[in-house]
Structure 1
């Protein structure tokens, strides 16, 4: 009622684990998340209820070292520019909450980077020493899958960095190393990926650019659908033994997204070897021979050789564009193929297909 009285119809109600509100005012988007006033973390009915307690914890440390406030801003700007900021399920990066804790833990932006560049494959941080060095023994196994295990100072049974994936973890470590080796303001500016850059990057290889018009909906939901399309393409490439030399995806948060893949221009061998069961397993060996009439035995195991369904990635990706899995996650999608000598485009919508 208060928001609508101030901003009228500009206020949009969004559904989540607890409904919240969003509005755009003077070109800035604001989100208002209702929380319960609680004194202890155990009284939280929703994860957001603990947010004021986290703010109090941060403010306590900033009083001891006020300069950390600017360092927190630097850390968030750095991570945004490096495309590793945001704990949404389609981003899988560092949340603002996580960066608050890390800057306070390392007492500054530069010390944070100095330590981060040398993090282990799995790094454990318990700033308040809640678990007395026994984090791996005491924290629930379901919260130990991320490469960074950061014990929440307010809720010690929680890994604050659980959303972070290995790709963003490694990308951040590299960015930290590169910045420290040669500091520059450019590390704080998000660089737009352009077609010209990608065509230059591909060299004599093949570049696939997949442009996607996303569906309407809540940002996190739409972002997840786009991520699933990207992962569907990359998983299919791996299944058929194509190894991208470069890959990524971008979304403007509105009506345009694109996926890019750089692959070797040379075709794969015409046939593929399929491993089968041990020759001593009579039942499974018989089934394998029935499915693959031409088999050979090597070191006690059956193998078959079959024609490879796709020798180059272009027809594979083209075949994926029209699958229900892709079409139900976007409004339309198009593929443009850039080889050394030609350019070809295929467009697919939810209603019709066209090729040129």
Structure 2
């Protein structure tokens, strides 16, 4: 092979891989026809029910199946029922549920920002969601009111080639584990993916750009002029950070709502993970980059080997998972993780790495570099020359029979006092655990009952969390 041919080989490999994935993820005519028939039938049913309640109501299909960016095998049909803005919120919710049940007689109610009906018809997952019909996103009264604007905007921007590139990009993001704007994943939403592909002009150009991103990356598709310095606080309620300005690693100004960062939910880790795999794929295109890797559960012998090799002390706080949807549960788990690890660090137990996982039970898990501390701890007071504060410190400890000192060292008072907790277990099993800043529902669950596992006791987690522990102890980007 000549040097020129060798230079072309990665390009040829990349195009071949992309072509194969494109063929795999593109719905065929039969699949499209089946989806269209079901969608049209249900939309007709929804429109009849909606206009019987409110003559000015209308119905439209939104989401990826409306924009032809859905991946073969995806079975989601999102039907939005729009009511006039002069309807009050309570009536909208009432009408929305009535239309939902008329459309999906076997459906059930779920709740996002307001209730809606979800069900299954001939293998398709159907959502029937009420919203207000508005002229502009400046008038939005709930987060779902934006969705029709997103669909209208992208239907103008997307052509067949870009839609195909979106499908390939979505599959790539799924393969590397960063697709989904739910608060468990904190990754790339379908809408964000579509905007990125439109902005860069395809799958490969997006990867080439992402490989060189230097966060914060700021994109403003409709030139609204918003930046992380000029934008008002984000209105992305799903991100759980509605009081924050645009200080995220990836900032994509919503073309339909200039005060919103579409990428606000994306974690810094997932933006970096996308960059890593973009570089890896461009250097060595492979089909398996598009295939999610589900690791085998960790065995007990392998876990014990890791613990012996690492010589850290794992600790886990395990409790019944609060009965919440994941978008409510995981922010609370992460808040609790931050509080508990901070509590451990502040007491000298040096958290090495930590995570939180949940299924039937929930776990805050940490590895400690230090598990046991001396019975005394050093406590430095103010410099002696700061008279009032120094005198107060001295008098606080001068008559404490359990303290060493106060003595003077380096110009300031120092005392060595009894340590409150000499082991991580003692702290985690104490009432002081409730002082660290826990999620509200997590705190309630811990007040009911929880277990503290230390060292090899964590092997009892394997039955429920073997896969998650495999991911923790065999980490990859």
Q: Does TM, normalized by the shorter one, top 0.5?
A: yes
In the alignment, does 2:197 pair up with 1:103? Answer: yes
CA-CA distance at 1:328 after TM superposition: 0.5
Gaps of 5+ in 1: 347-356
Please state whether the residue corresponding to 1:227 is helix, strand or coil: helix
The TM-score, its normalising length taken from structure 1, stands at: 0.75
Aligned to 2:213: 119
CA-CA distance at 1:165 after TM superposition: 3.8
Please state whether the residue corresponding to 1:156 is helix, strand or coil: strand
Compare CA radii of gyration and give the structure with the larger one.
Answer: 2
Distance 1:321 1:344 in 2: 26
- Aligned residue runs from structure 1 range 194-343, under 5 A: 194-196=297-299, 198-202=303-307, 203=309, 204-252=311-359, 255-264=360-369, 267-268=372-373, 271-293=376-398, 294-295=405-406, 302-319=413-430, 323=434, 326-329=442-445, 332-339=449-456
Would the aligned equivalents of 2:227 and 2:246 in 1 still touch at CA under 8 Å? Answer: no
Q: Deviations for 1:196-255, whole angstroms, at most 9, x for unmatched residues?
A: 365444433222344432122344333333333323322222222333333222234xx2
In the alignment, does 2:281 pair up with 1:155? Answer: no
Distance 1:178 1:68, change over 3 A: closer
The TM-score, its normalising length taken from structure 2, stands at: 0.59
Please state whether the residue corresponding to 2:257 is helix, strand or coil: coil
In the alignment, does 2:138 pair up with 1:35? Answer: no
In the alignment, does 2:168 pair up with 1:71? Answer: yes
Distance 1:345 1:313 in 2: 19
Please state whether the residue corresponding to 2:258 is helix, strand or coil: coil
Would the aligned equivalents of 2:173 and 2:274 in 1 still touch at CA under 8 Å? Answer: no
Would the aligned equivalents of 1:92 and 1:163 in 2 still touch at CA under 8 Å? Answer: yes
Distance 1:43 1:72, change over 3 A: farther
Root-mean-square deviation (CA, aligned residues, Å) is: 3.7
Distance 1:15 1:48, change over 3 A: closer
Structure number with higher helix proportion: 2
Distance 2:182 2:253 in 1: 16
Distance 2:275 2:408 in 1: 46
Would the aligned equivalents of 1:20 and 1:34 in 2 still touch at CA under 8 Å? Answer: yes
Would the aligned equivalents of 1:127 and 1:151 in 2 still touch at CA under 8 Å? Answer: yes
Distance 1:287 1:267 in 2: 31
Would the aligned equivalents of 1:11 and 1:21 in 2 still touch at CA under 8 Å? Answer: yes
Please state whether the residue corresponding to 2:132 is helix, strand or coil: coil
Would the aligned equivalents of 1:68 and 1:104 in 2 still touch at CA under 8 Å? Answer: no
Distance 1:213 1:71, change over 3 A: same
Distance 1:15 1:93, change over 3 A: closer
